[in-house]
Amino acid sequence: MGANAETPVLDKGFVRLVDAMGDDRRIVQAARVSYGEGTKTVREDAALIDYLMRHRHTSPFEMVEFTFHVKAPIFVVRQWFRHRTASVNEISARYSVLKDEFYEPAPEELRAQSEINKQAGEGRLPAAEAERAAELLTAAGRDVYARYRELLELGLAREQARSVLPVGIYTEFYWKQDLHNLLHFLKLRLDRHAQAEIRTYARAIAGFVQARVPLVWRSFEEHVLDARTLSASERAVLAELLDRRAYADALAQAGLSGSRVREALEKLFGEA
Ligand SMILES: Cc1cc2nc3c(=O)[nH]c(=O)nc-3n(C[C@H](O)[C@H](O)[C@H](O)COP(=O)(O)OP(=O)(O)OC[C@H]3O[C@@H](n4cnc5c(N)ncnc54)[C@H](O)[C@@H]3O)c2cc1C
């Protein structure tokens, strides 16, 4: 996927890759500066990237940058902008009149309030309630937008008239982020605890990242995205339960290299 490729997201949004600087090779080149020329022939690019990723040697990943153009509802963007390490430029509702574009999910996309997690939606709203909720969401958007237009026609400044607009209205922004911080964003926003809407955007971003830096993506999935951290207590219990030798054999059988088997043993049992 090259520059200007666009992925539609939600009912009216998108993620567009504006530009990207660097790729897997840039990370390898940057890392070799710190490890010296000698390592060049020893490690393959994929192995080096994997080593950097699993040892959290993060600065080479900062050498790659992505710029995206995103269109998303304001409630998604409020979550998005909590990630402080990006450079952002957003459309100004002081300067421009915002368009009549609201997030209007289809009835089958409406979730019921979770009973166990106050912060989450869960499962689908029953059909009749979902129909009515979808109608209300659309009607509220139309009603508010008519009042916004009326306020503007009265001559009220755009910067004040916008105060009636809801967080479901779409906005647009440019977002530039280096790969290290972008992966942190993706770890948090691809997670099943993140709200479904921002997860959809994170998946679109992930598609561009995977296409641009496939070796990084493989290591990111292995060591970060699909990895889990054990607490000290969990680790102690597992170390008691597991036989060191049997664990080492199973890891080798699963295809892990000798150094990764050693690292895995050290993680669980401490230094040999
Ligand atoms: C599922 C989920 C639920 C959430 N719920 C809430 C909520 O209910 N209320 C709420 O307010 N927020 C909530 N958040 C936002 C969350 O608390 C973080 O603000 C957000 O995820 C950004 O994470 P970050 O600070 O690691 O990322 P970034 O801002 O991108 O920062 C990346 C890293 O840089 C460092 N850093 C950046 N700025 C600073 C700084 N000023 N000081 C020290 N270190 C810094 C930190 O190491 C940080 O991890 C939620 C996030 C998620 C994913």
pLDDT tens sequence across 58-97: 999 999 999 999 999 999 999 999 999 999 999 988 889 8
Ligand 1 within 6 A of CB of 118? no
In which residue ranges of the chain is pLDDT below 50? 38-39, 41-42
Ligand 1 atom 28: residue of nearest CA? 83
Ligand 1, atom nearest to 189 Cα: 53
User: What local confidence, expressed as pLDDT, does residue 265 receive?
Assistant: 95
Tell me, in angstroms, the distance from the centre of ligand 1 to residue 81's CA: 10
**SS3 (DSSP) at 111:** strand
User: What local confidence, expressed as pLDDT, does residue 120 receive?
Assistant: 74
Helices (H), ranges, 40-190: 45-54, 74-80, 127-153, 158-161, 179-189
Considering the candidates 124, 189, 199, 244, report the single residue annotated as catalytic.
Answer: 189
User: What local confidence, expressed as pLDDT, does residue 32 receive?
Assistant: 85
Ligand 1 within 6 A of CB of 225? no
Ligand 1 within 6 A of CB of 180? no
| Residue of 127, 136, 110 lying closest to 196 (CA atoms) | 110
Ligand 1 within 6 A of CB of 194? yes
Instruction: Write the DSSP assignment of 71-88 as a string of letters.
Output: EEEHHHHHHHTT-TTSEE
User: What local confidence, expressed as pLDDT, does residue 195 receive?
Assistant: 95
Report how far residue 98's alpha carbon sits from residue 77's, in angstroms, rounded to the nearest whole number: 15
Q: Is 17:207 a contact under the CB 8 Å cutoff? A: no
Q: Is 95:86 a contact under the CB 8 Å cutoff? A: no
Burial of 205 (0-12, 13-18, 19+ CB in 10 A): buried
| Whether 84 is catalytic | no
pLDDT tens digits, residue range 12-35? 999 999 999 999 999 999 998 866
Ligand 1 within 6 A of CB of 85? yes
User: What local confidence, expressed as pLDDT, does residue 38 receive?
Assistant: 45
User: What local confidence, expressed as pLDDT, does residue 252 receive?
Assistant: 96
Q: What letters, b where the CB count within 10 A reaches 16 and e where it falls short, cover 93-129?
A: beeeebeebbbbbebebbeeeeeeeeeeeeeebeeee
Ligand 1 atom 18: residue of nearest CA? 82
| Residue of 96, 104, 99 lying closest to 168 (CA atoms) | 104
User: What local confidence, expressed as pLDDT, does residue 42 receive?
Assistant: 38
Q: Is 6:15 a contact under the CB 8 Å cutoff? A: yes
Q: Which two tokens stand for residue 154?
A: 């009265």
pTM of this prediction? 0.93
User: What local confidence, expressed as pLDDT, does residue 137 receive?
Assistant: 95
Tell me, in angstroms, the distance from the centre of ligand 1 to residue 184's CA: 10
